[in-house]
Structure 1
Amino acid sequence: MKIRKIGIKNFRGIKELDWSLPMGDVFCLIGKGDSSKSTILDALRYAFYPQWNLTLTDADFYQCKVDDAIVIEITIGELVEEFCSLDKYGHHLRGWDAVALKLTDEPDDHLENVLTVRLTVEKDLEPKWVVYCDRLPEGVHFKYADRNKVSVGLIGTYSEKQLSWATGTALAKLTEAQSLSELLAVASRTARASLDADRPVSLKNFDAAAEKSQEIAKLLGVPVSNAYKAHLDLASINLKVGGLALHDGDIPLRQLGLGSRRMLLCGIQKMGLEEGHITLFDEVEFGLEPHRITRLIKHIRDDKRGQYFLTTHSPTVLRELTVKELHIVHNKGGVVEIISATKKGLEEFEVQGKIRSSTEAFLAKKVVVCEGATEVGFLRGFDDHQIGNAKDSLSFNGIALLDAKGASKIKELAKAFKSLRYDVSVLADADAEDQFSTADVTELLSLGVPVHVWSDKLSLEERAFQDLPWDSVLASVKLAQSELGFPVYDQVRSKFQDALDGDIGSWTESAKLRAAIGVAAKKGGWFKDTTRGDEWFKTVSPAFKDGAFLKRDLALKLGALWAWAEHV
């Protein structure tokens, strides 16, 4: 059986979610932390919880508002014949259009037969599972034995139980439960007999205490049928199915590393369920090296009987998956939207390539598309500066800095991320009209993408050396020469074309010299990588205490970008 549609209301961080799934067997949920990815997996697990005693608390309600019931509705297809029979759930069958991704209440020959399972939890915290349709809205009870047959398994951070024969585990489904119960009952009796045989040695002191208890019993008139003695109480030591666990020799496999346990569980889930399975894999990369991630993803993709729901924050996982398997989760005020990376209209953006080259940005909430590495490094330095002034960091605001690797790629990247519902802003030079034009800026602004470009059609270096206080200009030049090893004097002299003192500290401020330094820094690539851009900002950061500088274009544009980061 496989999931076709998911609806969630008032569950933890989700006020509302309505997701019609495209055809596929692997669904990887990505996006910023706290976007409710793991909550979606828990909702799926609870909807098919294989036991009757699901425990919830007030904290499981959206914003703890217990007057608004938790409602989880999951529509499943590829049904087993048993579920379709009229004496089971056949009266509640519905139709699923896989092309239009539309649910119809009446089944039809050209539609897939599906059932909708609804889990409701009200303020009494009692879960109620039903299979329902609009024709019979009250539904019929969805028994825990049938929930177990859907075979939904969660592989999370804590998975030791899954390596035992506890109820609901994949191992338990591989084995006849009755035979296990009989086996463990025999084991309990054997333990009792073994202890009795060694009584004169192992129970000597305990039997002495039992004799004293017998004497007291007689004094108090308590009947003694035979003789008091110490023995095992089978009711107290009764072994349960969950006590039987996988071992490697004498070592329980629960002692394996976390990554190894999770990979093993994934394999058991695939191997053991003839009718198929739905496997939920939270933080799939957790505990695994990149080469084992690659192997695990291949294993998942090759399993045609299962349906997998993954979450990840790993660039490695993103690079291993195809664009059809990626779904971006956005949560705004509890309203959750899931966007497929193959969403119609994105064909021109070649999203697959961008995922492979810009994976970190896909894991953020907001994206700043920077023209190049200089801008990325400069903003990192600015971020540190703002943190030092008691501001929240860019990462706190869910922002990723994306290197577009050239002005010509800015518009395409910004439009692609905007189409995927990311909040997007742009920081770029204004000195290459043929690569990032005024028309491009206008188009992005019309799409709701703020664009920050330097005035007077200048690059970052040229704008900075026009606006910075003179002592910051000289400090920048010395950084490039002394720390970064550039032939600064020769490069500036070739652009200045006038006499220039060999001692940088003695250079006299002039508009012409500022312009020459800006061009030399740009053409010479003084700060053309992330690390050097970061160092450059740290060198000039004292300028941000200068009131006159704060009114100039460089400081104003950075301030505007920061305001967007904080308030969007």
Structure 2
Amino acid sequence: MKIRKIVIKNFRGVKALDWNVPTADIFCLIGKGDSSKSTILEAIRYTFHPQWNLAFSDADFYQCKIADPITVEITIGHLVADFSALNKYGLYLRGWNAAAQTLFDEPDDDLESVLTVRLTVEKDLEPKWIVVCDRNPDGVPFKQADRNKVGAGLIGVFSERELSWANGTALAKLTAAQSLSELLANASRTARNSLDVDRPITLTNFDAAATKSQEIAKLLGVPVLDAYKAHLDLASINLKVGGLSLHDGEIPLRQLGLGSRRMLQCGIQKAGLEEGHITLFDELEFGLEPHRITRLIKHIREDKRGQYFLTTHSPMVLRELTVHDLHIVHKKGGVVTIISAAEKGLEEHEVQGKIRSNAEAFLAKKVVVCEGATEVGFLRGFDDHQIENGRDPLSYYGVALLDAKGASKVKAMAMAFKSLSYDVSVLADGDAEAQFSTADTAELVAMGIPTYVWSDKLSLEERAFQDLPWVYVLASLKFAQDELSYPVYDQVRTQYREVLPEDLSTWPDSPKLRSAIGAAAKNKNAGWFKDTTRGDLWFKTVSPAFKDPVFGKTNLALELGKLWEWAESV
């Protein structure tokens, strides 16, 4: 069976979600942390929970508002035959148009037959599972045995139970029919017999205490039928089905590493459910090295019977998947939306290539598309400066800094992220009109993408050396010469074309010299600060200037301030 539509209301962090699930077998949910990706997986698991004793608490309600019931409706297709029988759920069948991703209340020959399962939890915290349709809104109970047939299993961080024969586990479903209860009862009896055999050695002291207890019993008039002795109480042993677990020799496989346990569980889930399965894999990368991530994703991709819902925060996982597998989860005010990275109309943005080269940014809420590595490093330094002055970091607001690797790529990169409903802004130089023009800026702004470009058609280096107090210009020169080992004197002299003292600290402030320094710093053959680390260190060199109220009115400071305001905005 496979999921076609998911509707969630008032469950944990989700106030509302309505997702028409595309026809596919792999769905990797990505996006900023706390966007409710794991909650979606839990909602699926709860809807098809194979046991009756599912516990809820007030914290499972959206904002703990127990007056608003939890409702999860999941429409499933690819049904097993008995689900469509009239004496089962045949009267509740509906129709699904895969091409239009539309649900119809009446089944039809041209539509896939589907069932909608509804899980509701009200303030009494008692879950109720029913199969519903608009024709029969009261529904009919969706029985525990039928929930088990759907084959929905969660592979989470805590997976030890799944490597035992506990009720509902994939391992139990992999096992041919046999009375496990009888087997374990016999094991308990065998344990009693083996203890009797070794009694003279292992239970001498215990039996001595039992003999004393017998003497006390007789003194008190308590009847003794035979003789007191230490022995196993079968009722207290209480071996359960979950006590039978998978071992490697004598070692329980629950002692395997986290990644190995999860990979094994995934394989058992696939093998144990002959009629198909819905596997929920939370944080796929947990405990796995890159080569095992590759192996696991290949295993998932080759499984044509199962449907997989994954979550990840790993760029490695994103690079192994395709745009057709990736679905971006956004949440605002509790309302969750899910957008396919392969949605029609996005082809022109070449999303696949951007995911491969900029995977980290796809895991954020907001993206600042920076023209180059210098801007990324400079903003990292600015971020540290703001933290030191009592502001929350960019990470608090879910902001990722993205290196577009050139002015010509800025516009396309920004538009691609915007098309996937990310909050996007741009930080770019103004010195490459042919690659990123004033018209490009206007177009991005019209699309709702704030764009910050240095004035007077200058690069970041040129703008900084025009705006910084002279003492920090000299500090930058010293940093480039002493720490980064650039021949600063020669490079600036080439641009200045006049006599300069060899001692940088004695250079006189002038507009011409500032321009020469800016040109030398940005020169593509020199590029004093042309990577993330050097850009970050450069900012730290000049950061005290940001406390100067006069400098605060310059273009450099104002544009950075505007960008920060955007980052902090909800």
Q: TM-score range by the shorter chain?
A: over 0.9
Aligned to 1:158: 158
Aligned to 2:562: 560
Aligned to 2:483: 483
Could you report, residue by residue, the CA deviation over 1:484-506 in whole angstroms, capped at 9, with x for unpaired residues? 12222122112212221111111
Partners in 2 of 1:222 and 1:55 — Cα distance? 45
Deviation at 1:516, TM superposition (A): 1.1
Mapping for residues 77-476 of structure 1, pairs under 5 Å: 77-176=77-176, 178-218=178-218, 222-476=222-476
Could you report, residue by residue, the CA deviation over 1:333-355 in whole angstroms, capped at 9, with x for unpaired residues? 11111010012221101000000
CA contact (8 A) 2:174 2:271 kept: no
Q: Deviating runs (4+, > 6 A) in structure 1?
A: none
Where 1:119 maps in the other structure, the secondary structure is: strand
Partners in 2 of 1:229 and 1:521 — Cα distance? 91
Aligned to 2:520: 520
CA contact (8 A) 2:493 2:500 kept: yes
Q: Equivalent of 1:535, from 525, 537, 552? A: 537
Q: Amino acid of the residue matched to residue 421 of structure 2?
A: R
Partners in 2 of 1:502 and 1:226 — Cα distance? 109
Partners in 2 of 1:270 and 1:366 — Cα distance? 37
Where 2:397 maps in the other structure, the secondary structure is: coil
Deviation at 1:515, TM superposition (A): 0.9
Aligned to 1:39: 39
Mapping for residues 12-23 of structure 1, pairs under 5 Å: 12-23=12-23
Q: Amino acid of the residue matched to residue 301 of structure 2?
A: R
Where 2:443 maps in the other structure, the secondary structure is: helix
User: Percent of counterpart pairs with the same letter?
Assistant: 77
Partners in 1 of 2:103 and 2:216 — Cα distance? 74
Deviation at 1:205, TM superposition (A): 3.5
**Gapped regions of structure 1 (runs ≥ 5):** none
| 1:58 and 2:58 correspond | yes
Deviation at 1:238, TM superposition (A): 2.4
| 1:27 and 2:24 correspond | no
Deviation at 1:213, TM superposition (A): 4.0
CA contact (8 A) 2:211 2:228 kept: yes
Q: Amino acid of the residue matched to residue 93 of structure 1?
A: L
Partners in 2 of 1:91 and 1:210 — Cα distance? 66
Partners in 2 of 1:203 and 1:356 — Cα distance? 66
Could you report, residue by residue, the CA deviation over 1:94-129 in whole angstroms, capped at 9, with x for unpaired residues? 101100101111100000000111111111111111
Could you report, residue by residue, the CA deviation over 1:221-270 in whole angstroms, capped at 9, with x for unpaired residues? 55544444332221111211111111111111111111111111111111
Partners in 1 of 2:28 and 2:514 — Cα distance? 51
Partners in 2 of 1:46 and 1:199 — Cα distance? 49
Where 1:124 maps in the other structure, the secondary structure is: coil
Aligned to 1:508: 508
Deviation at 1:424, TM superposition (A): 0.6
Could you report, residue by residue, the CA deviation over 1:377-402 in whole angstroms, capped at 9, with x for unpaired residues? 00011111111111111111111000
CA contact (8 A) 2:174 2:268 kept: no
Partners in 1 of 2:199 and 2:307 — Cα distance? 55
Q: Amino acid of the residue matched to residue 491 of structure 2?
A: Q
Partners in 1 of 2:287 and 2:480 — Cα distance? 42
Deviation at 1:418, TM superposition (A): 0.9
Could you report, residue by residue, the CA deviation over 1:27-64 in whole angstroms, capped at 9, with x for unpaired residues? 00000111111111111111010111001111111111
Partners in 2 of 1:479 and 1:205 — Cα distance? 80
Where 1:400 maps in the other structure, the secondary structure is: strand
Where 2:395 maps in the other structure, the secondary structure is: coil
Question: Which has the larger displacement, 214-223 or 367-376?
Answer: 214-223
Could you report, residue by residue, the CA deviation over 1:111-150 in whole angstroms, capped at 9, with x for unpaired residues? 0000111111111111111111111111111111111111
**Gapped regions of structure 2 (runs ≥ 5):** none
CA contact (8 A) 2:28 2:310 kept: yes
Length, aligned pairs only: 568
Question: Which has the larger displacement, 227-236 or 427-436?
Answer: 227-236
Where 1:433 maps in the other structure, the secondary structure is: coil
Partners in 2 of 1:504 and 1:200 — Cα distance? 94
Question: Which has the larger displacement, 524-533 or 352-361?
Answer: 524-533
Partners in 2 of 1:177 and 1:566 — Cα distance? 59
Partners in 2 of 1:227 and 1:103 — Cα distance? 73
Where 1:103 maps in the other structure, the secondary structure is: strand
Where 2:96 maps in the other structure, the secondary structure is: strand
Aligned to 2:7: 7
Could you report, residue by residue, the CA deviation over 1:259-290 in whole angstroms, capped at 9, with x for unpaired residues? 11111111111112110111111110111111
Partners in 2 of 1:289 and 1:230 — Cα distance? 51
Partners in 2 of 1:450 and 1:41 — Cα distance? 34
Partners in 2 of 1:56 and 1:38 — Cα distance? 16
Where 1:235 maps in the other structure, the secondary structure is: helix
Deviation at 1:408, TM superposition (A): 1.1
Q: Amino acid of the residue matched to residue 146 of structure 1?
A: D
Where 2:396 maps in the other structure, the secondary structure is: coil
Could you report, residue by residue, the CA deviation over 1:432-460 in whole angstroms, capped at 9, with x for unpaired residues? 11111111111111111111111111111
Partners in 2 of 1:302 and 1:402 — Cα distance? 33
Partners in 2 of 1:435 and 1:89 — Cα distance? 62
Deviation at 1:217, TM superposition (A): 4.5
Q: Amino acid of the residue matched to residue 537 of structure 1?
A: F
Deviation at 1:202, TM superposition (A): 3.1
Say if 1:138 and 1:222 are closer, same or farther in 2 by CA, change over 3 A: farther
CA RMSD of aligned residues (A): 1.3
